[in-house]
Amino acid sequence: GAVVSQHPSRVICKSGTSVKIECRSLDFQATTMFWYRQFPKQSLMLMATSNEGSKATYEQGVEKDKFLINHASLTLSTLTVTSAHPEDSSFYICSASGTTQYFGPGTRLTVL
């Protein structure tokens, strides 16, 4: 099956710093990747759609200047959480779209 990697798996940072999360499709090319946020014991909340070579499309209520997305190649999308605050602490998961959506292992972000 399709493999999606995500790095880092866990990050702890101080309030006000920026954190970059990488999402890679390892064995297929993905023109579209998605970024989700998941709170404990809750469902997946779509944050944005990342399209290779074009600007990301953000869901309503998601600040595009806070969550910067870059999809520079068919196998890599990055999410940068800028000026992170404790309320940004969450589990961030990416997915790459092939015949279906294949998920990365997630990144646990903790902002102190």
Chain contacts with another protein (rule: CB under 8 A): 32, 34, 42-44, 46, 49, 93, 97, 100-106
Shortest Cβ 49–another protein spacing (Å)? 6
Of 28 and 82, which CB lies nearer to another protein in the complex structure?
Answer: 28
- Closer to another protein by CB, 82 or 101: give it: 101
Q: What is the DSSP string of 27-41?
A: SS--SEEEEEEE-TT
- Which CB atom, from 22 or from 82, has the smaller least distance to another protein? 22
Least distance CB 97 / another protein (angstroms): 5
* CB nearer to another protein: pick between 46 and 83: 46
- Residue 88 φ then ψ, to 5°: -85, -5
Closest contact distance (angstroms) between CB of 83 and another protein is 27
Q: Which of 50, 80, 46, 44 is nearest to 60 (CA)?
A: 46
Query: What is the nearest approach in angstroms of another protein to the Cβ of residue 16?
Result: 27
Nearby residues of 7 by Cβ (< 8 Å), 6 or more positions away: 21, 22, 24, 107
Query: How far, in Å, CA of 49 to CA of 96, rounded?
Result: 10
